[in-house]
Amino acid sequence: MNFSLEDSQNAAPGLPTMAEQNKLNVATRKADTQSVTKRLQSELMALMMSPTPGISAFPDAAGNMLHWTATIVGPKDTPYADLNLKLSFEFPGNYPYSPPVVLFKTPIYHPNIDFSGRICLDILKDKWSAVYNVQTVLLSLQSLLGEPNKYGHFRSCRNEQMLIFNCSASPLNNEAAQLHQKDAEEYQRKVLARHQEIDD
């Protein structure tokens, strides 16, 4: 059976056939990838030309611009001071209109980061904006290390009369949240016990 003939016979007048639509989709994805790559090249150049102390990020060794490895040095006067923390960035095809998927690769003990490295940070979720970039994310994460999101705050749903917890009200690591508030010395001990340097 000739699918091209069938597609053209079943297509509505003025609309592309399925084969034509597939070609358009491939061309659009290619244009999107080129646009994302151009944006990421610009961000990489900015990071290299104006480095910010304590953060760095580069595409993976394979040269795929959609996969980056980043490093954050733990900020002074925090339990993470001078610890090197590795992260991975996976950029979607519609970046910067959708946030990257960011994971801690270095094991870390933190109220807003689970043991799989997933991060609860509003700018990586519903507060993402196309004006943010890799540097913005890394600086926000560095700040989060020193000041975890506060717990017990509520925000209201826009279209409902009920209250819901936001991600800071329900930490990913409950034990870390409780220790952070009640026992700084034990929290520090757990941070150092969990931290492990990993190779690039």
What residues are annotated to the active site?
A: 120
Angle at 30 between CA 24 and CA 34, to 5 degrees: 145
Report d(CA 8, CA 16) in Å as an integer.
8
Which of these, 112, 116, 178, 162, lies nearest to 142 by C-alpha position? 112
User: For residue 101, what are its two tokens?
Assistant: 């998927």
Cα dist. 173→64, 109, 150, 178 in Å? 32, 8, 13, 9
At 130 the three-state DSSP class reads coil
E strand spans, 109-193? 154-156, 163-165
Query: What are φ and ψ of residue 67, in 5° steps?
Result: -130, 115
Longest dimension (CA), the chain: 74
